[in-house]
Structures are given as C-alpha cells and as structure tokens.
Amino acid sequence: MTTTKKKVIVIGGGFAGIEFIKNADENLFDILLIDKINHHQFQPLFYQVATSQIEPSSISFPLRHVFKYKKNLQIRLAEVYSIHEATSCVSTSIGDFCYDYLVIAIGCTTNFFGNDEICKHALTLKSTYDAIHIRNHIINTFEKIISASAHEKASLLNLVIVGAGPTGVELAGAFAEIKLHVLPYDYPGIDFSQFKIYLIEGSKYTLSHMSDKSKSTSQAYLEKMGVTFINETFAKKYDGHTLSLSNGKHIETQTVIWAAGVCGNKLEGLLPDIITPGGRIKVNRMNAVMGSANIFAIGDIAFMETPKYPKGHPQLANVAINQAKLLAKNLKAIQQNKAGKHFEYTDLGTMATVGRNKAVVDLPSFSFTGYFAWFVWMSLHLMLILSVRNKLIIFINWASAYVSKDTSLRLILRQSDYKK
C-alpha cells in the first residue's frame, strides 16, 4: 500500500534549510523550498569577498544546482510574507502555498539596535551582495583619494568597523593585510601610513565570547598589524561623514562597516509571545515552535532553552546543521508513529582568523593560537564548502595568495555612472 507523501515547506536556503532537505526522507515527504534569492551563501567567508581575497561565485551556490538530483523537491523564488496557522498555508509574493509541515530556517539579519541613522549610512555584511558592495566601496574609495582635496582625504583614509566579534576581527585583520601587502602597489601615489583602521567594541575585549587566551591573542595580533582597537565604546551617530562615539570622540570617515550584532528575520503570523527580544522564535527540544504541532524553526532563528544552554544556542553553522539533521529524523519518526529525540548541542569549539598565520581556536578542553590554529580554521571552512569544485577553487586561491600575498580580484562590479 502506498502512503501519501506529506507536504513540507522549507523557508530559507541557508545551512539549516539545505541540511534538512538533504536528510529528509524522499519516500515520505514532498518538499517545497522557498527563498528570495536563488543561491546558498557561505556566510563565514563573506569577509574574504569584501576584501577581494576570493570571488563571490566561490561561496555562492545556486540552489537548483545543489539539489539537481532531488526528485521530491520543488524550488520557488519568492518572499514569504506571513504564516496562516489556521489553514496551514503561507502567503508569498507569488501566491499562497499550503503545508502539512512548515520548517522555518530564515536566519538572522543585521541588528542596528534601533539606530535608524546608522542603519541608513553604514555598510553591512550579511549577504554576498553586501560583500560585493563593500568591495566596490573600498576600491572606489581609493580611486577617489588620488584626486581628492586634502580635507576630503582625511575622511576617506579612515575605515571604521563596529563590533569586535568574529566578523569584525576577521575584517579588520584582512584590511590590515591588504593595507600592507596590496594597496601600496596598486596606488603608489597614496601615503598608506595615513590609512587608519579602527575597530570599535562595546565590551572590553575582542572576541568577548571566547577564552581569555583567544581574547588577548586576537587583540595583540590586530594591534601589531596596525589596527586601532577602541573598547568599551559605542557608536552613537553616523551621518555618512562623521561617526560620533559614546566616549565623546568623533571620527571623520566615509566608511563604517557595521558588525555589531544580529537579530532574527521577521515573519508575520506567529504570536508575539513566542518571539524573543532578539527576534528569534521560541522552540521546544524537538525544534517545534511553541504552541504548534506542525511548525518548526531551525538554525539561527530558533531559540531553544536547554540545561546546557539556558540562554539559547550560539548562532553557529554547526548548530544549524545538527538541528536540521535531527529534525529530518524526527519528522520521519513522527510519520512512523515513533518517538522523536530531543536536541542537545555538543560544543566542538569556536575559532576565528585574524590574518595570515594568525588565528585563535577554543576547544572544549584547551585553546591554541598561531599557525596551527590558522591551518585548522582553513581546513574546517574548506570542509563546510558545499561542492568539491569550489573547495578546490578556494584552496588554490588561498595557496596562491599565501605565496604571493596578493590576488587579482580587485574589480569594481557595478553599473557605470557615465552616460553615453
């Protein structure tokens, strides 16, 4: 006797969404993946695109290519507006779709903490497009410096990164390296001793969630590389030209990159009391949305309280991947009238790279830094890249850059402002 397949809608093609689809039983479920972009984005390496170290295509994977052998999957390019629990349907920009199970994997976006002025003028790094935009902006800035007045040069030569978590630290380190090894050769007419890189952090340390050794080592690396670290300070205002800080000081700059926090992407239709102040959706130990039997949330958007993580799990790719794998197993168990398993995350460690031969790694039992940490960081990220082809391309690119201390990827990719 054949069993009618259940309809599963997955919203979001990030780490969590992709891993769930890969592991969902093809004999039990027909899946509809809805995303507003047509590709998976490898967020851990956005900063390398932004600093002209790798091509955008190396870390962007078309969803239809990723799942070209999945016979039980349909993909729709659309924006999801709202969920209608009563009818088990979602409303999108291309119409309504109904489900037996809904899997929300919409991830997070930049959190400006209500500061609309900074939101309007600062650069962000939450998508491949953002990374390309930063790359265009930085290269264009140096083209402007060549012919700028002395007054304008001062603001063009100040680059500010707000937020000293992994993204901020990795960006600051990458910019410090291209300042030393790349830009002086591209722009011999510019005095790069005047190019200042500032890293602003509200807490006392860089990488505040990591071990004391990683905090102190990462800060020492950055300061040795010429980055000015300003701690226990918040960005208050930014009008596109002047950044005002909570310590009363001001920095004249035309480049502010905001890496100071994230909040959950919004989706209408869920009850307000299951949304945390950070925009995440409260779920139980099987990733079911609180109060719902057929709606699940996984990855960065999910907020699950456990004895080990009473404040929710860290928003890491490994958490998203493991939640997705378990949810696929649990939905299969539900269909077979079996008991599902509760999720618990085993912390395998945290890491960040600061630059060439410079990284910090925290494992559950010990921490280490330097060249070996950098090698471990590279190896893990290569493992997470989706395709063998892209793994090879990135490895070759990294190897070439390691030997030459340079890449040839400094292209301004935007529509020309000049009219014919």
pTM given for the model: 0.92
Q: Cα(205)–Cα(202) distance, rounded to whole angstroms?
A: 9
Q: Tell which residue, 101, 114, 319, has the closest CA to residue 302.
A: 319
**121/245 same-domain check:** yes
144 in any annotated domain: yes
**142/244 same-domain check:** yes
405 in any annotated domain: no
**160/207 same-domain check:** yes
Last residue of a domain, one of 313, 335, 357: 335
Phi, psi dihedral angles at 230 (to 5 degrees): -115, 110
Q: Cα(287)–Cα(162) distance, rounded to whole angstroms?
A: 33
pLDDT of 1 over the 80 cut: no
Q: Which residue would you say has higher pLDDT here, 209 or 403?
A: 209
Domain count of the chain? 2
**189/226 same-domain check:** yes
400 in any annotated domain: no
Last residue of a domain, one of 303, 335, 367: 335
192 in any annotated domain: yes
The parent domain of residue 174 ranges over 116-260
CATH number reported for the structural domain that contains residue 24 in this entry: 3.50.50.60
pLDDT of 415 over the 60 cut: no
Summarised one tens digit per residue, pLDDT across range 70-79 is 999 999 999 9
**216/285 same-domain check:** no
Q: What is the DSSP letter of 86?
A: T
59 in any annotated domain: no
Q: Which residue would you say has higher pLDDT here, 214 or 415?
A: 214
H/E segment holding residue 199: strand 196-200
Neighbours of 87 (CB within 10 A): 10
**227/274 same-domain check:** no
Q: Cα(334)–Cα(107) distance, rounded to whole angstroms?
A: 25
Summarised one tens digit per residue, pLDDT across range 290-332 is 999 999 999 999 999 999 999 999 999 999 999 999 999 999 9
DSSP string for 31-60: EEEEESSSEEE-GGGHHHHHTTSS-GGGGE
229 in any annotated domain: yes
**122/249 same-domain check:** yes
Q: Cα(86)–Cα(95) distance, rounded to whole angstroms?
A: 17
What pLDDT is stored for residue 405 in this prediction?
A: 67
Summarised one tens digit per residue, pLDDT across range 364-393 is 889 999 999 999 999 999 888 887 778 888
**138/170 same-domain check:** yes
What pLDDT is stored for residue 4 in this prediction?
A: 87
**12/82 same-domain check:** yes
Average per-residue pLDDT in the chain?
92
Q: Tell which residue, 299, 340, 380, has the closest CA to residue 108.
A: 299
The encoded tokens of residue 415 equal 């529509």
72 in any annotated domain: no
What pLDDT is stored for residue 229 in this prediction?
A: 97
52 in any annotated domain: no
What pLDDT is stored for residue 281 in this prediction?
A: 97
Summarised one tens digit per residue, pLDDT across range 149-206 is 988 999 999 999 999 999 999 999 999 999 998 888 889 989 999 999 999 999 999 9
**3-class state of residue 348 by DSSP:** coil
Last residue of a domain, one of 315, 335, 355: 335
**146/278 same-domain check:** no
Summarised one tens digit per residue, pLDDT across range 106-150 is 999 999 998 999 999 999 999 999 999 999 999 999 999 998 998
What pLDDT is stored for residue 135 in this prediction?
A: 93
**120/248 same-domain check:** yes
**298/185 same-domain check:** no
Q: Cα(159)–Cα(96) distance, rounded to whole angstroms?
A: 45
The encoded tokens of residue 101 equal 């199970």
Average pLDDT of the segment spanning 26-36? 97
Summarised one tens digit per residue, pLDDT across range 224-264 is 999 999 999 999 999 999 999 999 999 999 999 999 989 99
**3-class state of residue 402 by DSSP:** helix
CATH number reported for the structural domain that contains residue 203 in this entry: 3.50.50.100
